[in-house]
Structure 1
Amino acid sequence: MRTPLPISVYMLSFGIFIMISCELQVLGMMEQLAAALTISIAQAGYLVSIFAASMAIGGPILAILVSRLAVKKTLMMLYIIFILGELLGGFSNTFSQLVIARSITGMVSGAFFGVSIGLSARLVNSDSKLKAISTVLAGIMLGTIIGLPLAKVVSEYSNWQTSFFLVVGLASISALLTHLTLPDLSPEPPQPLRKELGAIFDTRLWWVFCTSFCIIGAVYAPFSYIVPILNETSGISQNSITLILFAYGGIMLIGNNLVAKMAAKNTKRTLVIGISFLIVNLCIFALFNDYHWLAITCTLLLGLCGVSLNPAMVSRLMELPQGGRAFINTLHASMITLGIMFGSFTAGIALSFGYQLTITIWVGAAIAFFGLLILTFSPINTHTLSK
């Protein structure tokens, strides 16, 4: 019988929820941002790529810099930097200022992901590791269920800056509660920088990293533009889109739990099924997005077979000897966010050549197919965390 998870694991999930809310808030206010800053929709979409690039590059660097600090002190420092960056975003009135703000918060988010995933495994016994990791990763789903639609509603009824200040308030509350509930843990056993960095030359890591890169890239190619796709291409009203985004997040939460249970039995098979389903869903979405109900269904199913595959991706990494270290988990988060950047950026490039919004869905399907090929030919033999 598994023991209940400690409250500190749920606080880590709350922190991930805040980071994801910050990352996705731009998607909910893209049209308002474009109008306020006199930029194109494609340029507004690049703010997602900027966040992801900073998360991918700055996250591992920041993780190494704070790796020798006590865990609680590390998290408090990350929260402080994050809050300052989000405040800068709220007070921004130019695109350049927003770029700087997104770079700061993206860097912190990358380090926070790596520290939180590794820490969640330390807070529980071996039988509960996958459950703890999937609980922390559920913050991603909650960020989509609540954070993204909330940013859209706030930007429509107030202004886009208000959502930044709302995230600041949530981060302040989360920092306080985390400080109160997290036990005092020592940092991971220190390793020489050369050995820490040398782990990246293990080719098994890169099979895992590349698969995760493609899964998330495939999702974010169309999802970065999901609001204009549903509104302009599928003819769905803004109010209905808000409800769809709420439902999308709810289905992601269901998918997260389902994937965690499937991954406990066979990680690789779970990923093969998930990516295959993703490819089929994106192709149907691209071909029939002008049918309202089919467009809605495909959007919702995207939540079931996209980001919700995270527990399986992390489980696959944790099966490797170095998979539990914060630096490696941060690198994995970096590859995932590079996937976000690649998907969003590639879709934006396609749009800049004059293609219709539907092209972003086809871009996603192509990236997912490539990810399936990588996974299929991967030499890694997978097991479960509990074995």
Structure 2
Amino acid sequence: MTSNTTAAPARPAVSWLPVVMLALGAFCAGTDNYLIAGILSDMSRDLHMPVAAGGLFVTAYSLAYAVGSPVVLTLVRVRSPRRLLLAAIAAFVVVNLLAAVAWAPWVMTVARIVAGCLAGLYSPLAAAAAAGMVPAHRRGRALAIVMGGISVATLAGVPIGVWIAHLWSWRTAFVFVAALAVVATAGIALSVTASGAAPSASFRQRVAPLRRPAVLLALVVTIAGMCAGLMVYTYVEPIFAAAPAVGAGAVGALIMAHGFGALIGLGFGSSLVDRFGSRPVLLGTLTVFTADMALLPLASHTLVTTFAFVFVWGVVGWAFLPAQQHSMIADAPPEQPPMLLSLNGSAMYFGIALGSAIGGAVIAGLGAGRIWTFATAFAAVAVLLSLVRHTRVTSGRSGRRR
């Protein structure tokens, strides 16, 4: 007896090497941005500048990234996105070597601004390339791998860079990033194939969603949340090195604990949204984050509680991002989700820039002990604005039903 059923054709095997190489480039970008938090004191001392001013290097990188993603990608026109991708990551090697040999603050500032622009250019191109090289049913995983490179940077890249800096010099930490970028450049050149035309949306199209008040409110929530977290994270070394229960020797481990929490938060944030919806996850994580920022000064009286609260900060401080992204695109027109996600990415880095700048001003003017008050206040603003936004969105839906 023969069966009339026909076996389903086997799906072609997927090569994940190109995606991994693209993720390595994202890992370099993430490490490069957050690395300064662990080497801030030594770098500032070597460049003859206050620690609070040294934190502005994070501001320069993040602000350049925030502008670089929508603006530079719109201005740069090439036939081959692969060439632009390779040019961005190869130039990343050069600017990190420039940072490693920086002999004055202005040289480091130039290096950070250019690096931020290159990261803002690389990230969307890498995501698009990864999605285009795998079958449709694997695109979600490919995007998660590439963008996960940034979160893994907080878990592994930054602690390794800080460890290298403590062994030799803060300058060797940038050499470490440059070396990783060399590997990423070679890997992308050898494994990533040519793809279609580069994104051709105009700047007006990219910022069109800003005409919607709900989008503006959502972006301000992202800015406030990231500002609160990075206000502390940028200066985590001088803040916790001065805590009697922590000390400078534990800062690298604290950064790793935060990174491990961030990885868990990003991983489970989407699952929680799928199960409970974006609103409770967003409000819940931001509320816990606010409480964590308010209580961390008390927790830092013992090493164990400090690690516990920093870990929770990493979890909730990053878990709100998938919920925020989901809430932004839930009711968006079909053509707008890519633009909304790009704007939200820019808002993230604008929040990082704002947080590092405000944190530096607070430390310089009021002392590191007052930074928790400002971080808690910005986190609370994120909660309140999120409540306002969800109330307006819910009211709008009810009005449309009538």
Assess same fold via TM > 0.5.
Answer: yes
Is 1:168 paired with 2:140? no
Counterpart-to-counterpart distance in 2, 1:362 and 1:273 = 20
Is 1:346 paired with 2:350? no
Q: What runs of 5+ residues in structure 2 fail to find an aligned partner?
A: 1-10, 395-402
Q: 1:43 aligns with which of 31, 50, 53?
A: 53
Aligned counterparts, 1:248-259, within 5 A: 248-259=258-269
Show the counterpart of 1:333.
345
Contact 2:100 2:171 in 1 (8 A): yes
Contact 1:134 1:311 in 2 (8 A): no
Is 1:305 paired with 2:321? no
- Segment drifting more, 249-258 vs 276-285: 249-258
Distance 1:67 1:314, change over 3 A: farther
Contact 2:41 2:237 in 1 (8 A): no
Aligned counterparts, 1:1-387, within 5 A: 6-66=16-76, 69-123=79-133, 130-187=140-197, 190-265=200-275, 266-319=277-330, 320=332, 321-325=334-338, 329-355=341-367, 357-378=368-389, 379-380=392-393
Counterpart-to-counterpart distance in 2, 1:192 and 1:147 = 35
Show the counterpart of 1:385.
none
Counterpart-to-counterpart distance in 2, 1:124 and 1:269 = 33
Tell me which of the two structures has the higher relative contact order, counting C-alpha pairs closer than 8 angstroms and 6 or more residues apart. Answer: 1
Contact 1:55 1:107 in 2 (8 A): yes
RMSD of aligned C-alpha atoms?
Answer: 2.6
Counterpart-to-counterpart distance in 1, 2:15 and 2:266 = 17
Contact 2:129 2:195 in 1 (8 A): no
Listed one character per residue, the Cα deviations across residues 172-221 of structure 1 (whole Å, up to 9, x for unaligned) are 11122123333432135634554444344344432332222122111111
Counterpart-to-counterpart distance in 2, 1:335 and 1:354 = 27
Q: What runs of 5+ residues in structure 1 fail to find an aligned partner?
A: 382-387
Counterpart-to-counterpart distance in 1, 2:144 and 2:328 = 13
Q: How many equivalent pairs are there?
A: 378
How far is 1:124 from its partner?
Answer: 5.2
Letter in 1 for 2:346: S
How far is 1:4 from its partner?
Answer: 7.2
Counterpart-to-counterpart distance in 2, 1:317 and 1:68 = 30
Counterpart-to-counterpart distance in 1, 2:343 and 2:91 = 20
Listed one character per residue, the Cα deviations across residues 146-190 of structure 1 (whole Å, up to 9, x for unaligned) are 222122222221111111111111111112212333343213563
Show the counterpart of 1:384.
none
How far is 1:105 from its partner?
Answer: 0.3
How far is 1:33 from its partner?
Answer: 0.8
Counterpart-to-counterpart distance in 2, 1:191 and 1:252 = 32
How far is 1:291 from its partner?
Answer: 3.1
Task: Give the TM-score, by structure 2 length.
Answer: 0.85
